[in-house]
Homo-oligomer: A and B are copies of this chain.
Amino acid sequence: MAVNLLFVTSNASKVREAKHALGPNWKVTHKNLDVPEVKTESMEETIQRKAETAFSLVKKPVLVEDTGFFLDAYPNFPGTYTKFCIKRIGLDGFLKLLEGKNRQAGFETWLGYHDGQNVRTFTGSVKGSVADKPRGKAAEKLPYDLIFIPQGEKRTYAEMPLAEKQETSHRAKAFAALKKAFP
């Protein structure tokens, strides 16, 4: 059975990846809105609150997404503050923080689906490392893809075609989990 999803996000690149991951039987509608986030240090708690906020704004079943980037050298950073940090210190700041440090890193995507009564969450993660400098051409608003090399690869996500990135990506895994949970 096809499912309609109202994906509330200000990031069109994430909608594109969602459609790619879910395939043609799913109808994904993009509601372009930057949902106010109550940041906690837990990705799961943050996505739950975000789903509740989105539902209270849109007043119908909604899907929201939040992706955190994580550096092994600085546990839980930038985590739930991923978007804030890239705006403020940029990729240069991240590369500086990692000079001479452990370059292992990871992404976690969290999805929150509010069906009108409850929130269900789905997650997907990937491990890898941070490149010495930005490489490739990232989709709009996915800047970390320029420096992230998934495990077993030599290319950054931004150097890979979307179809290839989606084979392993955190976001694709989270959408696969969501897809599996729906009848």
Residues of A bordering B, CB below 8 Å: 36, 38-39, 41, 74-79, 81, 84-85, 88-90, 93, 96-97, 99
**Number of chain copies forming the complex:** 2
Are B93's CB and A88's CB within 8 A? Answer: no
9 pairs of A and B residues whose beta carbons are closest in the complex: A77-B88, A74-B89, A39-B39, A38-B38, A74-B88, A96-B97, A77-B89, A93-B97, A76-B88
Which of B75, B96, B99 makes the CB contact (< 8 A) with A88?
Answer: B75
Contact partners of A74 in chain B: CB under 8 A: 88-90, 93
Interface of A is mostly: mixed
Query: Considering the chains assembled together, what is the distance between the CA atoms of A128 and B128 in angstroms?
Result: 39
- A80 closest partner in B (C-beta): B84
Query: Considering the chains assembled together, what is the distance between the CA atoms of A81 and B39 in angstroms?
Result: 10
